């Protein structure tokens, strides 16, 4: 696999010596142990690992939703005080408000921030176009497919203009065909916006197709087992998954995960 290039400046996001323990039957259960990772501006990085390795817990700590037991999360070299607009979050479940239209869901965070109605409408229109849902602005979540709901959730997160977009198994609830179409959509969206993305997935193919770098996690306790650069062209189509280099990267990661 490709060597890791040294960073040229302070990373946008750093996780340093992070551990998380929970009390369990009178003892401490270690869920994450000595996690170290970096995320540079405009990168797309994936965390891949089996269920139960602590990927989602790590993402929630980075988002500021739960505290670490040890270690630090840094944004531009400083510890953020807690959850903030600088870190947007997209979950596997769509978390849309069913009583709001698509447009109002996208603009919800902007309204909370006190953004003027005119500016809200401008941003909502822009992100509706970005995710290809301009015709569904007045629709309600129950009228949308699963893939469309997740597009709305992504647009809502992007509308708040986060420095880093955190994604927790965003396509895990979708059928195989829709999932691939959403992967293609997200890759194109990243090429268009260059938003910095850290995404958690257990799908090895998904991680390879989407990301520039991959952190492979092991379980019990959750640790970073390997970091690797994905040496594939930035623009990717679905047939790349049949490429020999793609298959070799997949084989390498699967073997790495099987050594747990």
Higher-confidence residue of 81 and 128: namely 128
Q: What is the DSSP letter of 222?
A: B
- One domain, residues 188 and 253: yes
- Does residue 7 lie within any of the structural domains? no
Clarify whether residues 169 and 238 are in a common domain: yes
Q: Judge residue 53's burial from the number of C-beta atoms within 10 Å of its C-beta, 0-12 exposed, 13-18 middle, 19 or more buried.
A: buried
Same-domain check for residues 138 and 168: no
d(CA 111, CA 124): 11
In this predicted model, what pLDDT tens digit does every residue of 141-195 receive, in sequence order? 999 998 899 999 999 998 888 999 999 998 888 888 888 998 999 999 899 888 9
Rounded to the nearest angstrom, the gap between the alpha carbon of residue 140 and the centroid of all alpha carbons in its chain is: 25
- Tell me which of 111 and 26 has the higher pLDDT: 111
- Same domain membership, residue 173 and residue 136: no
Please give the residue that has the higher pLDDT: either 82 or 16: 16
Query: Distance between CA atoms of 79 and 192, rounded to whole angstroms?
Result: 29
Predicted confidence band at 137 (pLDDT cuts at 50, 70, 90)?
very high
Q: Is residue 193 part of a domain?
A: yes
Last residue of a domain, one of 136, 161, 186: 161
**56 burial level (CB within 10 Å; 0-12, 13-18, 19+):** middle
Is 166 in the same domain as 80? yes
* Residues 36 and 122 occupy one common structural domain: no
Strand partners, 214: 46, 228
pLDDT of 192 = 87
Could you tell me if residue 6 is inside a domain?
no
Whole-structure pTM value? 0.89
Spatial separation of the C-alpha atoms in residues 186 and 188, rounded to whole Å: 5
- Residues recorded for the chain: 260
DSSP string of 98-157, one letter each residue:
TTS-HHHHHTHHHHHTT--HHHHHHHHHHHHHHTT-GGGTT--GGGS-HHHHHHHHHHHH
Res. 260 pLDDT band, cuts 50 70 90: low
If asked whether residues 166 and 68 sit together in one domain, one would say yes
Q: Do 20 and 121 fall into the same domain?
A: no
Structural domain containing residue 133:
100-161
Domain at 206, CATH number: 3.40.50.300
Distance CA 28, CA 90 (A): 30
pLDDT at residue 31 is higher than 60: yes
**In total, how many domains does the chain have?**
2
Single out the residue of 148, 248, 150 nearest to residue 205, CA to CA: 248
217 and 251 co-located in one domain:
yes
**Tens digits of per-residue pLDDT, 41-66?**
999 999 998 888 889 999 999 999 99
Same domain, 172 and 156: no
pLDDT: which is higher, 93 or 28: 28
Is the pLDDT reported for residue 2 higher than 70? no
Given a cut of 90, whether residue 25 has pLDDT beyond it is no
């Amino acid at each position: 696999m490709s060597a890791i290039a040294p960073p040229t400046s302070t990373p946008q996001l750093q996780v340093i010596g992070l551990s998380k323990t929970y009390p369990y039957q009178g003892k401490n259960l270690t869920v994450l142990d000595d996690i170290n990772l970096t995320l540079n501006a405009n990168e797309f990085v994936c965390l891949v690992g089996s269920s139960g390795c602590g990927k989602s817990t790590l993402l929630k700590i980075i988002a500021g939703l739960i505290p670490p037991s040890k270690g630090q999360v840094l944004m531009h070299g400083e510890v953020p005080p807690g959850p903030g607009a600088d870190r947007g979050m997209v979950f596997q479940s769509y978390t849309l408000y069913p009583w709001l239209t698509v447009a109002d869901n996208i603009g919800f965070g902007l309204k909370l921030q006190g953004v003027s109605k005119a500016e809200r409408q401008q941003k909502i229109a822009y992100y509706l176009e970005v995710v290809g849902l301009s015709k569904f602005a007045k629709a309600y979540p129950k009228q949308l497919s699963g893939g469309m709901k997740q597009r709305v959730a992504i647009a809502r997160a992007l509308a708040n203009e986060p420095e880093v977009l955190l994604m927790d198994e965003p396509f895990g609830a979708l059928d195989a065909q829709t999932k691939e179409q959403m992967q293609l959509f997200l890759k194109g969206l990243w090429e268009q916006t260059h938003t910095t993305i850290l995404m958690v997935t257990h799908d090895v193919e998904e991680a390879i197709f989407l990301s520039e770098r991959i952190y492979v996690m092991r379980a019990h306790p959750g640790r970073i087992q390997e970091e690797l650069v994905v040496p594939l062209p930035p623009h990717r189509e679905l047939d790349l998954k049949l490429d020999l280099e793609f298959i070799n990267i997949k084989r390498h990661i699967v073997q790495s995960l099987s050594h747990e």
